[in-house]
Amino acid sequence: MTQEKKFITVLGATGSIGVSTLDVVARHPERYGVFALTAHRQVDKLFEQCVRHRPAYAVLDRVEDAQRLQGLLDGVACCTEVLAGADSLVAVASAPEVDMVMAAIVGAAGLVPTLAAARCGKRVLLANKEALVMSGALFMREVAANGAVLLPIDSEHNAIFQALPAGFRQGVDGTAVTRILLTASGGPFRCKPVEELAAVTPDMACAHPNWVMGRKISVDSATMMNKGLEVIEAHWLFGAPADRIEVVIHPESVIHSMVAYVDGSVLAQLGNPDMRTPIAHALAYPERIDAGVKPLDLFAVGQLNFERPDFKRFPCLALAYQALETGGTAPAVLNAANEVAVASFLDGGLRFDRIADVIAATLNAIEARSVDSLDVVLDADRQARLLATNFLRHSCL
């Protein structure tokens, strides 16, 4: 029997997740087609992707970039129509022709189009942490109300999803699950003396030992804010309270996460550190398809190590737990302040070891509010960005 082809919009197509998604999709042309590809400003890379995958639409942030891409595509007789702006992101995420949306735009910019996909009942492949970090309760309500299917792409959350009980929906209460064990590599500075962190450069912070990622997410891995955001995300994805989500540093990045059960069992998902595995899992779920990933060679791995995270070394992780416990808009404030601080560090305006200071000062200065609308979330995001920027400008830390 011929299988009906599914069409996907890739939000953030030129990033590492987007590239990996298109690699998996291209391996199964009989199953998947590309409806739309979006990028921030990488015109040349998006042009190459459009020529290869022939989407109906491409979206860029700026009108002038969209015009340049359209000219390039017209020159090679590629019929892709190029759009620009935030409204166009929403349009290609919610179009009726779309079956699946890969939400891979990094940062708060990905929230609105990802939420739009959920409201239209799409299969949402969630690689954008901020959608749940900023608006977890609101986002999960929209998923449930509109019959959307939410599948995690982060290797850790995808591993947890695979290790949860059969038929699991949402909420560990009432199940035999006792803990969610969220693994972390520890990043490039796991063993670096704390007193040397002040001298860390952006290139040092972006040199991740196991994963190839963008610069912002690489810095988040180095501070372990990335793991902190994943704790918040796991809370919403799996209905688990903070005290049942434990971070485990596992330098080899072979075990992607684990689930502990009341009978003493711990189920783990293992694999090579390649994002095509969780992407393929979510694309085809509940089936399995080839991802192009090499089989795991346990003999080559040799041994697996585990450590408890040091909150003094990784204060950003502690701040994320604090924001989750506070609730409301606190995680949105945490995320916004982190984005501002990391951008300043990457631009050379802030020391690596002061990133957490900016986040803590912003969290302490803004009272958390309950999240009952997207406007509340976006207002908290704006307020936190302004305040964090002000702290940086005036060194009010």
Print pLDDT tens along the chain (397 aa). 457 899 999 999 999 999 999 999 999 999 999 999 999 999 999 999 999 999 999 999 999 999 999 999 999 999 999 999 999 999 999 999 999 999 999 877 889 999 999 999 999 999 988 889 999 999 999 999 999 999 999 999 999 999 999 878 778 888 999 999 999 999 889 989 999 999 999 999 988 776 667 788 889 999 999 999 999 999 999 999 999 999 999 999 999 999 999 999 999 999 998 999 999 999 999 999 999 999 999 999 999 999 999 999 999 999 999 999 999 999 999 999 999 999 999 999 999 999 999 999 999 999 999 998 989 999 999 999 999 999 998 765 5
| Distance from C-alpha of 17 to C-alpha of 106, rounded to nearest angstrom | 10
| Distance from C-alpha of 182 to C-alpha of 127, rounded to nearest angstrom | 16
Cα 347–Cα 85–Cα 143 angle in degrees, nearest 5: 95
Residue with tokens 């509940």: 286
Find residue 11's DSSP bridge partners. 103
The number of beta carbons lying within 10 Å of the beta carbon of residue 321 is 17
Q: How far is CA 14 from CA 41, 49, 151, 286, 368, in A?
A: 9, 8, 21, 27, 35
- DSSP, collapsed to helix, strand or coil, labels residue 247 as strand
Find residue 150's DSSP bridge partners. 124
CA nearest to 14, candidates 70, 53, 63:
53
